[in-house]
Structures are given as structure tokens and as C-alpha cells.
Amino acid sequence: MPTDVRCLVENDDRYALVRLIGVLDLPAAEAVRSALLTCLADRAGAVVVDVSQLMVQEAAALSIFAAVARETAHWPVGELLLCAPRDADTVWAQTDIAVTPTPQAALARLADPGAAGPLSVDLTPVPGSARRARELVTEGCTRWSLPDLAGPGCIAITEMVNNVVEHARTPMAVRLALRDGALHLAVRDFSPEQPTYAGLVSPRTCGGRGLLLIDTVARRWGSTPLRDGKVVWAVIHPEDEAAR
């Protein structure tokens, strides 16, 4: 983070509290975006951003919060909330992000997800990791009454994890959640190398079908770069499976 904005993170069982302190302008906005993306990538719960000590110098910089929300819209992560004094509501309403007056009010707003909450597991880059990830997907689909998504979900998560094992070779976090009736999957690793999808692969080619398989079973998928790695994500809808 630049000296203009400091980022302090406090972790709780249900959410992370990020305190932004300093002056927000366009140069600082990109660093704030990077910090928030990393924070969302590193936990499955909500992220509450306390902006009560952040002075907005350039209104255009406020767009960074909506940008973060868009970039993480398909991730299996919690809600992004802002905390700002009531007399600053007009300013922060421009972000299109829910605003609460205090962190305590944000916590009260966050419903206990119970059995519908996200699932996650930390894995090492070894061949057996894909099996553990499939077990997590099967557990989630059983818990959320999505039996038809267990198969395609396991296909997608296997390829996502194997990509880390074979290429990134870093520790990883596998996360999944039920959101709006769809299965959201993500694998966070610590390699800057982005997956490359080249479309159909020749039948004579060995390998190279991992991303093609993900593209086949997922309605949407993608990769979001982070300052220390990336998040590869996919969304699988039950109606797509019913139509196959």
C-alpha cells in the first residue's frame, strides 16, 4: 500500500474487518483494490471495510469499490460491506456497496449462513489434493441438495486443482459456496501465471484439456490476478445440467 492509505486487517470468525486510513485518490485506489481482492481471496466470509478514517480526495476513486464487487461477483466469498459515519452516507452511497454506520451494525446485517455457508480446505500441491477437493464438492452438493452438480463440480475442481499441482506448484485454498441456486467454485494459489484457454484441442494432442473441461461444465469461469497469485473460479448452474 502507498503511504497515502494504510490498510489494517482484523480477522473474526465471521468476517474480516479492513480499516482504511489516509487519503483516497486515483493513485491510491489501485492499491486499495489490490488489498481488498487479496483479503477476499484469503477468506470465505464477508469483508467489512471501515472507511471512517479515509478522506476522499478524488470522487472518481470511489469506483474502485464497485470494481472489486464486480470482480468477485462469481467467487464463493461473503459480502463486501462498508462502514462510514452517517454524515458521510451521501459520499459512500456512490459506491453502490451497502453502507453501515459501524462494524457492529455490519455484523448484525450479516445473517448466520448455517449449513448454507461456504466450505473451504487448504491443500498442498500434491496429486492427492484433487481427490480431497472432489470430496469437498460432493459434501457441499449433498448439504445444499444439489446432487446433479456433484459430477460437473468434481470435474471442474479436479482440473482447477491439478493446474495448481502441475503448473503453479504452490499451496492453494479450495472454496465453494451455494449462491443464488448455483455452485460457485474457486481455487486460490500463489503463482502469477494465468491459465491460457486456446479452445478445442486436437484429438492427437496429449493433455491440454483441463480448461476445455471447465469451459464445458461451467456457465462462467475465469481467473483474477492478485498481487501474490490468482483466483481461478467457475460457476455451475443446475438448469444447465438439466438441459444436457
CB 78 within 8 A of CB 44: yes
User: How many residues would you count in the chain?
Assistant: 244
Q: pLDDT tens string for the chain (244 positions)?
A: 544 789 888 887 678 899 999 999 999 999 999 999 999 999 888 899 999 999 999 999 999 999 999 999 999 988 899 999 887 767 888 888 989 998 888 888 887 666 678 999 999 999 899 999 999 999 999 999 999 999 999 999 999 999 999 999 999 999 999 999 999 999 999 999 998 765 544 433 333 457 889 999 999 999 999 999 999 999 999 987 655 6
If one counts every other C-beta atom within 10 angstroms of the C-beta of residue 86, the result is 10
Distance, in Å, from the CA atom of 16 to the CA atom of 106, rounded to the nearest integer, reads 11
Radius of gyration over alpha carbons of the chain, in Å? 19
* Element (DSSP H or E) covering residue 129: helix 129-143
Choose among 28, 20, 40, 22: nearest CA to 230: 40
Other beta carbons less than 10 A from residue 216's beta carbon: 12
Interatomic CA distance for residues 87 and 112, integer angstroms = 29
Strands 229-236 and 182-189: antiparallel
Within 10 A of 155 (CB to CB), how many other CB atoms are there? 20
- Domains recognised in the chain with CATH numbers: 5-109 (3.30.750.24), 115-242 (3.30.565.10)
pTM: 0.88
